[in-house]
């Protein structure tokens, strides 16, 4: 499988995978300024469903990163795989972290409470990560050859098959998982709160109440605390 000099769609999406969701969030935010306010009960259902879906996606990412051997799962600027991980969550789905990303993206979109925008954003997530998965599979096929082909022949890319489960070979490491995913947790909370603020401004012409500011402050304090802990941990090594 020969690699050409010109980057394909999957490689471009991989390089920009951290920034494209921000564009979707900005689009949802701007769209809220133009839409009619929906009933409070409907909004609460959207927020609850969205947070539950985003929480499931975050849990997948935490679990995958926490059990992953060094040099495999994580946040890398370039494609990197020291070995082919086929145990734990990777025994039932090939790309659990990307599946988690899709669930988080769709969940955050739902918390906006804008149906059309959430649908468009969800389609964009499916297209983007579908392209990334194809690009990732091509890389793994070049890197691991027949070992990857045998694994991919039975293990789905996105839809887990629980019957294939094989226990992870490494114990779960909370420190590694939290250090990797604390920014994702912060983003979920921040965007959900900002969407709530915009909806109130559009619907009532008023800023959010004290409870909203308390949640926003707590979200920021948690983020900064974990970031400081992570910095101290790195510097002590």
The pLDDT tens digits along the chain (237 residues) read 444 556 676 777 677 677 778 888 889 988 888 765 566 667 788 889 999 999 999 999 999 999 988 766 655 556 667 789 999 999 999 999 999 999 999 999 999 988 889 999 999 998 888 888 988 899 899 999 999 999 999 999 999 999 999 999 899 999 999 999 999 999 999 999 999 888 888 877 777 778 888 988 999 999 999 999 988 877 655
User: Is there a domain that residue 3 lies in?
Assistant: no
110 lies in some domain: yes
pTM over 0.85: yes
Which residue matches tokens 């799962």? Answer: 73
Residue 164 carries which DSSP code?
G
Domain count, the chain: 1
Alpha-carbon separation of residue 75 from 20, 46, 181, 182, 223 (angstroms): 16, 30, 9, 12, 18
Cβ-defined contacts of 138-143 (< 8 Å, 24+)? 138/1, 138/10, 139/79, 139/81, 140/81, 140/84, 141/1, 142/1, 142/3, 143/81, 143/84
CA distance 224 to 183: 10
User: Backbone phi, then psi, for 182, in 5-degree steps?
Assistant: -65, -35
> What is the separation, in whole angstroms, between the first and last Cα of the chain?
40
Contact 130, 74 (CB under 8 A): no
Residue 80 and residue 73 in contact, taking contact as beta carbons nearer than 8 Å: no
Structural domain of 222: 9-235
User: Is 129 among the domain residues?
Assistant: yes
Nearest CA among 5, 103, 118, 95 for reference residue 58: 103
SS3 112: coil
User: Could you give the 3-state DSSP secondary structure of residue 79?
Assistant: coil
233 Cβ contact list (under 8 Å, min separation 6): 175, 179
Pair 35, 114: CB distance under 8 Å: yes
């Amino acid at each position: 499988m020969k690699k050409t000099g010109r980057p394909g769609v999957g490689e471009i999406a991989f390089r920009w995978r951290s920034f494209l969701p921000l564009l979707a969030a900005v689009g949802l935010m701007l769209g809220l300024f133009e839409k009619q306010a929906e009933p409070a009960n409907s909004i609460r259902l959207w927020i609850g469903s969205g947070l539950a879906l985003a929480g499931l996606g975050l849990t997948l990412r935490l679990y995958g990163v926490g059990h992953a051997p060094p040099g495999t799962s994580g946040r890398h600027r370039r494609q990197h795989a020291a070995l082919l991980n086929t145990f734990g969550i990777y025994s039932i789905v090939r790309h659990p972290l990307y599946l988690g990303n899709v669930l988080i993206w769709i969940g955050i979109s739902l918390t906006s409470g804008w149906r059309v925008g959430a649908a468009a954003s969800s389609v964009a997530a499916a297209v983007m990560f579908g392209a990334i998965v194809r690009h990732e599979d091509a890389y793994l096929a070049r890197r691991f050859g027949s070992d990857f082909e045998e694994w991919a022949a039975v293990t789905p890319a996105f839809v887990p098959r629980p019957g294939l489960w094989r226990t992870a070979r490494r114990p779960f490491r909370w420190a590694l998982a939290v250090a990797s995913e604390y920014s994702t947790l912060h983003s979920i909370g921040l965007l959900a709160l900002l969407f709530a603020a915009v909806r109130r401004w559009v619907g009532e012409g008023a800023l959010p109440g004290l409870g909203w500011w308390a949640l926003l402050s707590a979200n920021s304090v948690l983020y900064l605390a974990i970031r400081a802990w992570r910095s101290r941990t790195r510097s002590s090594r």
